[in-house]
A and B are shown apart, each in its own frame.
Chain A
Amino acid sequence: AQTVTQSQPEMSVQEAETVTLSCTYDTSESDYYLFWYKQPPSRQMILVIRQEAYKQQNATENRFSVNFQKAAKSFSLKISDSQLGDAAMYFCAYRRRSGGGADGLTFGKGTHLIIQP
């Protein structure tokens, strides 16, 4: 069974600075997807960024980028120019490609990101 580990329960960063959230995972699959989801106090789960395991290029979405190291099974999220609106719980998630999504997502335990003004 796959597992996802987020070793940082809480992180704090000054506004406009850069912060990196860590995620490692374990799987026997070779083809899969990795995601970062954001959950603000509103409770809504919002997709931040997605990475396909067969793509070597790291995904980027505006101020958000990932460092995907497949051999090390590591998938960290970098947030540049942190903004107050980035304050939220961040969840790393895994889904294997085979099975068409029937397994759903496996989540890490989350990292609570605090933005200091």
Chain B
Amino acid sequence: DTAVSQTPKYLVTQMGNDKSIKCEQNLGHDTMYWYKQDSKKFLKIMFSYNNKELIINETVPNRFSPKSPDKAHLNLHINSLELGDSAVYFCASSQAGGHAEAFFGQGTRLTVV
């Protein structure tokens, strides 16, 4: 069973479109995240979310919005896609306390053309 799964794995879309990436975790974790990995492989957190609080990295454009229908899901919606949004997006989850490590999905490679 996949612990953190995200769909789709690949997404090619035109500039200006709106798209969503879905993420689900079956680990019972209370915190979920979205990370962006740029073309130079640098990973940076975009959002973290638990059932109490959403923390947004201030550098993330407001075209990006996380949506959490329940504790096990955190989807990423992107409006008005731009060429610079092309990247790999990773969903992750962790449990507050415990061993603290984050478990990652397999990533979604987004290409904006």
Contact = CB atoms under 8 A, between A and B. Distances in A.
Q: Looking at chain B, what size class is its interface with the partner chain?
A: 20 to 34
A84 to B, nearest CB: 21
Contacts of B45: 103-106
Contacts of A106: 45
B40 A47 contact: no
B43 A44 contact: no
A97 interface: yes
Interface residues of A, number: 24
Nearest to A106: B45
Interface string B76-113: 00000000000010101011110111111011010000
Given A35-B101, A43-B88, A100 B96 contact: yes
> Is the contact region of chain A dominated by helix, strand, or loop, or is it mixed?
loop
Contacts of A105: 35, 43, 45, 102
B88 A102 contact: no
A25 interface: no
Nearest to B43: A107
Given A101-B31, A102-B31, A95 B100 contact: yes
Those 7 A-B pairs whose CB atoms lie nearest each other, nearest first: A100-B96, A45-B104, A104-B45, A107-B43, A33-B100, A43-B107, A104-B48
14 contacts: A44-B104, A44-B107, A45-B90, A45-B107, A47-B103, A52-B100, A101-B95, A103-B45, A103-B48, A104-B48, A105-B43, A106-B45, A107-B42, A107-B44
Interface of A: 33, 35, 39, 42-45, 47, 50, 52, 89, 91, 95, 97, 100-107, 109-110
